[in-house]
Each structure stands twice: as C-alpha cells, then as structure tokens.
Structure 1
Amino acid sequence: MPEGHSVHRIARQFALHFVGKTVAVSSPQGRFAAGAERLDGLRMLSAKAVGKQMFLEFEHDRWLRVHLGLYGAWDFAGNFTADATTASAAGRMGQTNQHGTVAAGTVIADTVVGEHEDSLASIGAPRRTRLRMSEQEKATDEISEFPPEPIGAVRVRLLTDMTCADLRGPTACEVLTPDEVQVALNKLGPDPLVDDNGEAEERFVATVRKKQTAIGILLMDQSVVSGIGNVYRAEILFRARLDPHTPGKLIPEELLRELWRDWARLLDIGVTTGQMMTMDGLTADEYTAALASRDDRHWVYHREGLPCRVCGTNIAMELASARKLYWCPNCQAPLGTNPQGD
C-alpha cells in the first residue's frame, strides 16, 4: 500500500500540471461515470494530500477524494516534469538533512538520486512519457501520441491539453462537497507536512498516551497519525529501539515526541527522494546501494530471519491487525529491560 510520502508526491504532480487548468474528466471503465460528469470541464483549484488520502479541489465547490488502498495507482502521461518535487519543494531541495541523506538530483558516486528501482527516471525538463505512481514509481517508454489510449480498467481519467492522469484500482474515488471533505479530514490524525508541526506533535502525543493499545498498532491507525504504513511503522519503532507491543500509555512522553519528530524527518526524506529511506549514517557507496535496492534500505522491514544489522539477533515477524510486523527482539526489548547489559 502507498504510504504518506507517495501520496504527497502524487499531489505535487497534480499541483504542478493540473491546478489552474480546465480538466476533461471521464471514466473509461464506466464505474465513475456519474462522478466524472460532475467534474468534467471544471478548473482544478488545488491538490492536497493528507496521509494516504488525496483531495483535488475543482470549481463550484466540488472535490475528488482518492484513497489508493492496496492496489490503486496513478499513471501520468504526456508532457510533465518527471520529479514534481523539484518545482514544489522550494527551500528543501538540494539541502542535506541531519541524517546525511540528500535531495533528489544530487550526484553521489556518479549516481543521480531518483534514478533507481522505485524512483523517477529523470529530473528536470518536461518530456512526453508515462509515469506510474503508487507504492513505487516507475517511468516507462515515451509515448507516440497524446492522449494515449487507456490501458486496463481506468476508473477515472483527468486530461488537460498537455498531461493526463489515469486512476486504477482505488479503494475510494468519490466527488465530495466542502462539508463532506471536512468530515473526511476530521477522521484523520496529524500529518507533519500538512498540520502545524508543534500542534500536530502535541495532538499525537496526547492521543497515544491515552491508549492501552500497542504502539505497533497505533502507528498504523490513521486517526492517530496520518501516512504511516507497514514499512515506516517497522522502521520508526526500530530507530527508537521501542518494543512494538508496548501500550501507548506506558511510553514516556519524550520518547513519543522523538517518534513524531523522526516520522516528520523520514516523511520529508521520502517525499524528496521518492523512496522510503530509513537507514542513516551510510557512506556514499552504501547510500547509492540503498537507493538502488530496497534490500539495503531498511533496518528491519522484510528481513524476517535475517540477522539484525546492529546486534545480530534474527529479525522477528508476526501478524498485527492482519499486517506483517517486523522487529528485533533484542534491540527492541520491553521498556525497563537492558538486554545488552550496558
């Protein structure tokens, strides 16, 4: 399932190439025909991501809400900038963050960040091509005609004179009024890229400290915090050396604040690079390898039975709310224990 960074990147493509333009809206599949008719021919006014959901605003108080869910994806085609963050993340691009990772477009060991397995294929000027944006991002062959014929079961197509976006397989795709949008937003927890970060941190800490539920479950609850999925959940908890089974109410306040701030950092890295980079302290060669392969990108995620990168203990996995939870039983021992004896 796409996590928060992916949806923010998709929203930035819409902000860059659709906002301010009149959009032809259709439903090649037919399942969204009525909704498409309500939006067809209207100008898009804004594009906003909150956690895993995206809200596209049109004229006449009409909004398109999309939740990609497990199988949804957007396919962009036409003339568009391959990395929307280069145009919309003003002030952050080109700066090294405190964990040593770098922004898209930076050259490390003759490799351009953003040219790897699940990232965008090029940076800079618009080009006529296709781009799949979901949990992973993949640029494909350039197109010979525009607009291209829809491929597969396209729920909705958004089309301007230069760019089209096809949506497949979403969990939710609906036209809402402003009041209905607010109802949807009210159900979501704070998002570091949307909410005032100070207020968002306080809200997150206060919510978790009231809960007997395990923190490994709470981080996946979109009403507690928006945008965290399976990968970020496992990695954030490992980085904090926190047992995922710890009830929220038993976690010290300062540790919860560290969790929130680390999520904000990792989300920013994900939006900037297009990848869920969760390891830090890497050399240039190690960082290049991590960009090229997810096997070198994470501390514990998808590493069941492999030795912990820190202590050598085999990484454990269990099902938690029907999702796979990965952690190191030694590094993430219960609070109050010290398995390494120091």
Structure 2
Amino acid sequence: MPEGHSIHRLALQFTAMFVGEELAVSSPQGRFAAGASQLDGHILVSAMASGKQLFLGFDNDLILRVHLGLYGAWTFGGDSTFSGFPSIGAPRRVDDAVGGTDAVQPPYAGPPAPVGAVRTRLVSGRGWADLRGPTACVVITAREEALALARLGPDPLREGSDPAAFVTRLRSSATPIGVQLMNQAVVAGIGNVYRAEVLFLQRINPWRPGKAVLESEALAVWEIAARLMQDGVREGRILTTTPSERNGQAAEAAPHYVYKRTGEPCRRCGTSIASADMAARTVYWCPECQRN
C-alpha cells in the first residue's frame, strides 16, 4: 500500500498541475459517474494529504476524497509545462520526472483514450490525471472532510501536526508499538515499510507494549518517521540506509535495514533478520539490535 510520502507527493503534484484550473471530471469506467457529475466543470482550489488519504477541494465546496489502498494509482500526462511524475501509487514505481522545459514532447492534443478501469479522469487545458483501483473515491462535504480528518492521528508530514498527541495515544495503550504504528488513528501515514525501518533505527522491538515506551523514545520515533518520510517525498521512494551501511551496494540494491530481509544478516550486527505476522501484516526486526 502506498505510504504517506506518496500521498503528499500526489498533493504537491496536483497543486502544481491542477489547482486554479477548471477541470473536466468523468468516470470512464462508470462506477464514479454520479460523483464525477458533481465536480465536472468546477475549479480545483486545494489539494491536501493527510496520512494515506488525499483531499481535492473544488470551488463548489465539495471535496474528492481518495484512498488508494493496496491497488490504487494515479497516472498523469500533459503538455510541455507538465514536469511531474507519470505514475504515483501502487504498484510502486520509481519513475523519472517528465515534461518541463527540458523535455522533448510531441504537441499536446489532450489526454489519450482511457486504458483499463479508470475510476475517474481529471482533465485541464494542459494535462490530465487518471485514477485506477482505489479503495475509496467519494465526493464529500466540508463537514464530512472535517470528520474524516478528526478520525486520523497526527501526520508527521503535515505542518502543525502535534507529536505530543502521538506520544499520548501510543503510551496510553498496552498494544504493541508495532501494531500501533500501523493504526492510522494513532499516527497517520506510516505503513509497513516505515514501521519496520523506524523501529529498527530507534532499536525498539515491535512487540514492546506502548505503555512501556518512554516518552523520549516515542518522540524519537516521531522525529525519525518525519525525517524518513520527508526523504520519501523528495526522493519518490523509501530509502532508509546510509551509504556506509550498504557495503558498497547501490541504494536500489540495499534500500532498507530490515524490511523484507528475513534471514539476511543485519547491516549493523550481522544477526539474521526475523519476521512474523503482526496484525495481518508481516513485521521485520533484528533480534539483537531490537532486543527490547
């Protein structure tokens, strides 16, 4: 599932490409036809990410809420002024940016014919965006948006998010920290990759109860998550290892410390990385570096 950094990248791309533009909104697949008709012909005025959800606000006070889930993805294209990424979402891709003044592109003649099950298509005078396979794609009111945001925990990538709220929620429960970090009501935007990597870097065993996590440790978890996720927004991928700990390997070959490295040696101590089922997802950790 795309994690929070991908959704914040989407918000930035929609802001740069579509905010201030009147959009033709349609549902080539047909499943979102009623919702598309409510937004068609209106101006996009805002694009905001919170956790794993994207909120696109229109000038008629309606909001398009999108949760990509496991399979959702946006694809983009446009004229020579478009300098964004052609695909953001699942399945994960690392694409070079396209468009911009340095790119050689054919004259823009509008979006191509829809390919596959396009849930919704947004088209401006200079570009287009197609959404496929989301878990949620709904039109909501401002009040419903406020309720949806209230159900989410603080987002390390949102300016003004309160880390103290995360610390309080985490430490008020005996639920293992590895479970809580995946709970979007505790902290918004962290997924399976960031969970594993953040806990490794803070040397916390994923099975430790939240109540047993010190306040200073919880704050450090927040700060590490914020740093790694900011890197993810900038780089377009989750890269947590440092060059010195990749043993000469390229970043693409050694991007993580523990995630999906079951049985491989820890990059710091050499112990075999462990994994287990935790709340219907696989959690990874180093038994030596993360004893407690």
User: Does the pair score TM above 0.5?
Assistant: yes
Q: For 2:109 and 2:85, how far apart are their aligned partners in 1?
A: 22
- Aligned-partner SS, 1:65: strand
Q: For 2:179 and 2:191, how far apart are their aligned partners in 1?
A: 10
Q: Which letter does structure 2 place at the counterpart of 1:152?
A: G
Deviations 1:90-139 (A, max 9, x none): xxxxxxxxxxxxxxxxxxxxxxxxxxx9433147725587xxxxxxxxxx
Query: Which of residues 161, 169, 172 in structure 1 aligns to 2:133?
Result: 169
- Aligned-partner SS, 1:282: helix
Q: For 2:85 and 2:244, how far apart are their aligned partners in 1?
A: 24
Q: For 1:331 and 1:264, how far apart are their aligned partners in 2?
A: 22
Q: Is the counterpart of residue 252 in structure 1 residue 254 in structure 2?
A: no
TM-superposed CA distance for 1:192, in Å, is 2.1
Aligned residue for 2:11? 11
Q: 1:283 to 1:235 in 2, by over 3 A?
A: closer
Aligned residue for 2:29? 29
Q: 1:205 to 1:152 in 2, by over 3 A?
A: same
TM-superposed CA distance for 1:311, in Å, is 1.1
Q: How many residues align?
A: 284
Q: 1:284 to 1:210 in 2, by over 3 A?
A: closer
Q: Is the counterpart of residue 318 in structure 1 residue 276 in structure 2?
A: yes
Q: 1:58 to 1:308 in 2, by over 3 A?
A: same
Deviations 1:160-211 (A, max 9, x none): 01110000000000000000000100010111222414xx111111111101
8 A Cα contact 1:72 1:169, kept in partner: yes
Q: For 2:57 and 2:93, how far apart are their aligned partners in 1?
A: 28
TM-superposed CA distance for 1:279, in Å, is 1.3
Q: Map 1:1-342 to 2 at 5 A.
A: 1-79=1-79, 80-82=82-84, 118-122=93-97, 125=100, 127=103, 145-197=109-161, 200-280=162-242, 282=244, 286=248, 289-290=250-251, 293=252, 295-334=253-292
Q: For 2:175 and 2:276, how far apart are their aligned partners in 1?
A: 16
TM-superposed CA distance for 1:25, in Å, is 0.1
8 A Cα contact 1:311 1:331, kept in partner: yes
- After superposing on structure 2, the runs of 4+ consecutive aligned residues of structure 1 that deviate more than 3 Å are 126-129, 142-145, 281-287
Deviations 1:257-290 (A, max 9, x none): 1000111111110001111111135389958x11
- Aligned-partner SS, 2:244: coil
- Aligned-partner SS, 1:296: coil
Q: For 1:5 and 1:37, how far apart are their aligned partners in 2?
A: 30
Q: Which letter does structure 1 place at the counterpart of 2:180?
A: L
8 A Cα contact 2:76 2:85, kept in partner: no
Q: 1:284 to 1:306 in 2, by over 3 A?
A: closer
TM-score w.r.t. the length of structure 2 is 0.92
Q: For 1:44 and 1:242, how far apart are their aligned partners in 2?
A: 43
Q: For 2:202 and 2:245, how far apart are their aligned partners in 1?
A: 22
Q: 1:274 to 1:285 in 2, by over 3 A?
A: farther
TM-superposed CA distance for 1:146, in Å, is 2.5
Listed as ranges, the gaps of 5+ residues in structure 1 are 85-116, 130-141, 335-342
Q: 1:247 to 1:283 in 2, by over 3 A?
A: closer
8 A Cα contact 1:318 1:326, kept in partner: yes
Q: For 1:67 and 1:216, how far apart are their aligned partners in 2?
A: 22
Deviations 1:213-260 (A, max 9, x none): 000000000000010001000000000110000000111110111000
TM-superposed CA distance for 1:9, in Å, is 0.5
State the Cα RMSD in Å. Answer: 2.2
TM-score w.r.t. the length of structure 1 is 0.79
8 A Cα contact 2:78 2:108, kept in partner: no
- Aligned-partner SS, 1:42: coil
Q: Which letter does structure 1 place at the counterpart of 2:83?
A: T
8 A Cα contact 2:45 2:58, kept in partner: yes
Q: Which letter does structure 1 place at the counterpart of 2:37?
A: E
